[in-house]
Amino acid sequence: MRTVDVLNLELARARQRVKRAEISLNHAKEMLDEACGVGINLALCGRIRSEQRRVAEARKRLMKIAPTA
């Protein structure tokens, strides 16, 4: 496999990780907007913080692969 092909594959994977993390984060935020109990909201807040970290880490990995992406 050529170096360019490997780079394109890694870029595609990194973009996919970012997109999945963003979708998961948005879903957790939507769930928080629903009327739920305090315990569920606290759990969702924890999940949102975790998903925010996932998005940031995925973006960071993407920028390491392609700083201009």
Select the more confidently predicted residue: 8 or 69.
8
Give CA 28 to chain center in angstroms: 12
At residue 31, the pLDDT reads 84
Q: How confident is the model at residue 69 (pLDDT cuts 50, 70, 90)?
A: low
- Find the domain containing 19 and state its range: 3-65
Residue 46 to residue 42: CA distance in whole angstroms:
6
The number of domains in the chain is: 1
> For the segment 1-15, what is each residue's pLDDT rounded down to a tens digit?
688 888 889 999 999
Predicted TM-score of the model (pTM): 0.74
| Interval 23-63: pLDDT, tens | 999 988 888 888 677 778 888 888 889 999 999 999 998 88
